[in-house]
Structure 1
Amino acid sequence: MLTFDDLRDQFRPRPGHLDAATAGVAPTRMLQALRADLERWGDGGLDVARYEDAVARARAAFASLVGVPASRVAIGGQVSAMAGTVAASLPDGAEVLCVDGDFSSVVFPFLAQGDRLRVRHVPAGDLAAAISPGTGLVAFSLVQSATGQVLDGEGVAAAAAAVGARTLCDLTQAAGWLRVDAGRFDLTVTAAYKWLCAPRGTGFLTVRADAQEMLRPVQAGWYAGDDPWASCYGPEMRLARDARRFDVSPAWQAWLGAAESVGLFAAADAGEVERHARGLADALWTGLGLPGSDGSAIVTLPDPDGTRRAALERAGCRVAGRAGRVRVAFHVWNDRDDVDRALDALTSARTAGSAERR
């Protein structure tokens, strides 16, 4: 087990980095591995076996982190592509229930099917109650990108199971700070470059055994083969029997990095990471004199004209603006000084705004 202090020591961003919800920080262990690999590549020593080992390590680490067997994890690149596989596998006329305002990569793959699928959107808080016997799939992000809201995943999964609907849960804004059980859902998709701090272009699809047959491996390539090096030529197609049949060919250096970063979070105490991130977010809510959210590591505030974001950036905070809100995200590298920095900036912005209105 990696201690929390050892995990924190792997991350050394400038003070005020409050933007893990946009992109993570590269851990030092990953930087060392990638730099060494670039040197080997430059010397003509590119080593495919090393990359394949990295894919296996990243797959196993993610499986451990989200509580499923490695055989239930496929590797991918982008959430939209993985969700697109699910969309292409649904029968004509299937109803897909989505959250109003969810991230486009969870929604567009289904809307792109045009008249073939029926896509319905409901407010996040109404998701479980909106599931009906006619629902074929519930597609949603466990933690909402624009608001930071943590949905009741257990409630959604139970309501879907009660009517025979499948679930597709996006864990991108959750895995890495929030303890999650991917096995609770039929399918999950995760981009690893945010809270898991992996290189962009790495991600994971989990497929529960009883849901595997519903998926058509529309992106099947050589790496989805039962034995990729022995089944990489036609005319026969011999796909892996487990979730690896949905693998895409890995971007080598990206997966070398993912093995290091995801491995760090898998080796740490996930509960300690969650308590730390949630505690800092709660401290900011308290300092602002506002009721907290639902225990999210993400704090968002209305910011239609960008005033709050500008004040935070002037104070040296790296934050994001999303859907008319400013978004502040706390992760392992943040501390109380970051809370105070953000609190001072937001208080100043509020005071300035009050003076202008007078």
Structure 2
Amino acid sequence: MHPARTQYASGRGYLAACTLGLPSAATREALATDLERWAGGRASAAEYSSVVERARGHAATLLGTRPERVATGSQVSVFAGLVAASAAPGAEVVCIDGDFSSIVAPFLARGDLRVRHVPLDALADEIGPGTSIVSASLVQSATGEVADATAVSRAARDAGAFLLLDTTQATGWMPTDDLDADVLVCHAYKWLSAPRGAAFAAFSDRAIADLTPHTAGWYSGADPWASCYGPDLHLAADAGRFDVSPAWHAWAGAEIALRQAAELDQAGVRDHDVRLANAHRERLGLEASDSAIVTWPDADGDDLAALTGAGLVASGRAGRARVAFHLWNDDEDVELAASALGR
């Protein structure tokens, strides 16, 4: 059992961190307090800004960077869209075949880019001199496979390509503080157990200089409270220029969730989660892996139905059953899942 398990009111049989994380007791308290303050007319816009800034610092810790390189937002696709909008017409974009739509669709929607979809295990090899942008998830949503980030980063640098990495299915269960990318994007509602609507991204110097902040608004200035009105354009010199106006109530919970994650030994979380995932794989007769997500073929949905019928929470993606193991899970959850599947 992971020591953090005591922070979660439930979790027994909940095998869906890859779909939606569970709030800790501290996150629930923060949200309840925020609701009471709002209902009582005591909510403060200035205090919400302070909350967002604290969360920005925690996000920087999780991504191994400095707060001034982190932008806050609401969705991964918005940050990916900024990268897509920067591409020259006809530019080659390399994506992983079957990757999550939020980091693929913005490039396809342009209609004038050459988007190539390649197998995950061939991604680094497929990046070449003609590649302008590489857009990929560190951990695949549909299969749980983990990309070789070092090899992909090296190939992108050698080719001079811009690298966008999505860590939504990684940050929270594995260390993501040593990745080399131009933009790292993450939504915090899965493994980080934050309310939906709180996303963040880390930008390199190249990204800050080259990307146009097409979503610029009042929160994109160095001092948002001084950039509420035109006619001038107010842009922060750092990654704050890519901020969008925060969903305040989501960030009230996200700040606590991100702080708790940043304080954990992420290597220890990975060891805990992967050990349970591999114990489940063993019961299914699957080979061990380095991922906290376990998937297997389930075209008819029979296994997912069996898990659900036993009171467990799992998911199905791309014709596969999918379970995930996180802080609130222990060996009993492995036994429950195996029993439900008759293994």
TM-score norm. by structure 2 comes to: 0.97
Q: Which residue of the other structure, out of 73, 78, 82, is the alignment partner of 2:75? A: 78
Partner-residue secondary structure (3-state), 1:321: strand
Amino acid in the other structure paired with 1:112: A
Give yes or no for the alignment of 1:323 onto 2:326.
no
- Shift in Å at residue 182 of structure 1? 5.8
Aligned twin of 1:48:
45
Q: What is aligned with 2:296? A: 301
> What amino acid sits opposite 1:36 in the alignment?
T
* Cα separation, 2, equivalents of 1:301 and 1:110: 29
- Between stretches 7-16 and 161-170, larger displacement belongs to 7-16
Is 1:266 aligned with 2:235? no
**2:274 aligned partner:** 278
Aligned residue runs from structure 1 range 204-219, under 5 A: 204-219=200-215
Q: Is the 8 A contact 1:68 1:183 kept in 2?
A: no
> What's the offset of the Cα at 1:79?
1.0
Greater alpha carbon shift after TM alignment, 41-50 vs 313-322: 41-50
Partner of 1:125: 121
Q: What is the SS of the residue equivalent to 1:184?
A: coil
SS for the counterpart of 1:304 is coil
Match runs of 1:137-176 below 5 Å: 137-176=133-172
Q: 3-state SS of the aligned residue for 1:326? A: strand
Counterpart AA for 1:95:
E
Shift in Å, 1:92: 1.6
Q: Any runs of at least 4 consecutive aligned residues in structure 1 with deviations exceeding 6 A, and if so which? A: none
CA distance in structure 1 between the aligned counterparts of 2:179 and 2:320, rounded to whole angstroms: 32
TM-score (ref. length: structure 1): 0.93
Cross-structure match for 1:355? none
Q: CA deviation at 1:14?
A: 4.2
CA distance in 2, matches of 1:107, 1:182: 24
State percent identity of aligned pairs.
Answer: 52
SS of 1:75's equivalent in the other structure is strand
In the other structure, the counterpart of 1:352 is none
Is residue 225 from structure 1 mapped to residue 221 from structure 2 by the alignment? yes
Counterpart AA for 2:253: G
The 2-side partners of 1:327 and 1:282 are apart by 13
| Deviating more after overlay: 284-293 vs 227-236 | 284-293
CA–CA separation in structure 1 for the residues paired with 2:2 and 2:212: 41
Distance in 2 separating the partners of 1:285 and 1:44: 51
- C-alpha separation in 2, matches of 1:257 and 1:42: 16
The 8 Å contact of residues 199 and 257 in structure 1, kept in 2 or not, is answered as yes
User: What RMSD in Å do the two structures reach over aligned CA positions?
Assistant: 1.3
Task: Deviation per CA, 1:2-39: give whole Å up to 9, x if none.
Answer: x951x322112241000000000011111111111111
CA contact (8 A) 1:4 1:269 kept: no
CA distance in 1 between counterparts of 2:178 and 2:72 reads: 15
Q: Does residue 191 of structure 2 align to residue 195 of structure 1?
A: yes
SS in 2 for 1:327: strand
Gaps of 5+ in 1: 349-358
Q: Residues 74 and 246 of structure 1 are in contact (CA less than 8 Å); yes or no, is this contact kept in structure 2?
A: yes
The alpha carbon displacement at 1:287 in A equals 2.1
Q: Which one-letter code corresponds to 1:324 in the other structure?
A: G
